[in-house]
Amino acid sequence: MPTLRFTKDHEWVRQDGDTAVIGITDYAQQQLGDIVYVELPQPGTRVEAGKEAAVVESAKAASEVYAPVSGEVVAVNQLIADDPAKVNADPLGEGWFLTVKLDDPKALEALMDEAAYAAFVAEQG
């Protein structure tokens, strides 16, 4: 069973062994509205926890997507680069952003689980 964790910046990260898939949450896509452009890092580059990993642009504005964990980018989702609306339609599935090889396989332990994130979102009003 892969571990699914969330950040206060509304990214999700799903660990499977020593790699993790990263995306933005349903709450994030709702807040952004129609997503019209996604800029993804190059495979082989590094992302650092808490630093910008990707950019997502809605009809109104550009926003950063922060890496929930540190590691080397091993894959990016070309599907959302070609059809950004996929992020709105299926943020936790087809709308994933990138996959990283984790520096620290225990890095997800510091992040919120699904129940904690649901409570955090509820507080956002």
Partner 1 sequence: MDSSKSAELRRTPLHALHLARGAKMVPFAGYEMPVQYPTGIIAEHLHTRAKAGLFDVSHMGQVALHGVSGAALETLVPGDIAGLPEARMRYTLLLDADGGIIDDLMAIRFGGALHLVVNAATKDGDVAHLRARLGDAAVELLADRALLALQGPQAAAVLARLAPAITTMPFLSGARVEAAGMSLFVTRSGYTGEDGFEISVSAERAAELAERLLAEPEVLPIGLGARDTLRLEAGLCLYGHDIDRTTTPVAAGLAWTIAKRRRAEGGFPGAARLLKELTDPPPRRRVGIRPDGRAPAREGSAIVDPAGNLIGEVTSGGFAPSLNAPIAMGYIARPHSDPGTPLAVVVRDVARPARVSPMPFVPTRYYRG
User: Which residues of the chain form contacts with partner 1 (CB under 8 A)?
Assistant: 33-34, 36-37, 39, 55, 57-62, 81, 84
Q: Is 40 or 69 the residue whose CB approaches partner 1 more closely?
A: 40
Task: Give the shortest CB-58-to-partner 1 separation in angstroms.
Answer: 8
Q: For residue 36, what are the CA distances in angstroms to 33, 57, 63, 93?
A: 9, 6, 12, 18
Q: How many CB atoms lie within 10 A of CB 16?
A: 11
CB of 117 to partner 1, least distance (A): 22
User: At its nearest, how many Å lie between partner 1 and the CB of residue 121?
Assistant: 16
3-state SS, residue 48 = coil
Token couple for 125: 């009003």
Closest distance between partner 1 and the C-beta of residue 64, in Å? 10
Of 59 and 119, the one with the shorter C-beta distance to partner 1 is 59
- CA torsion 75-39-25-65 (nearest 10°) is 100
- Please say which residue, 80 or 102, places its beta carbon nearer to partner 1: 80
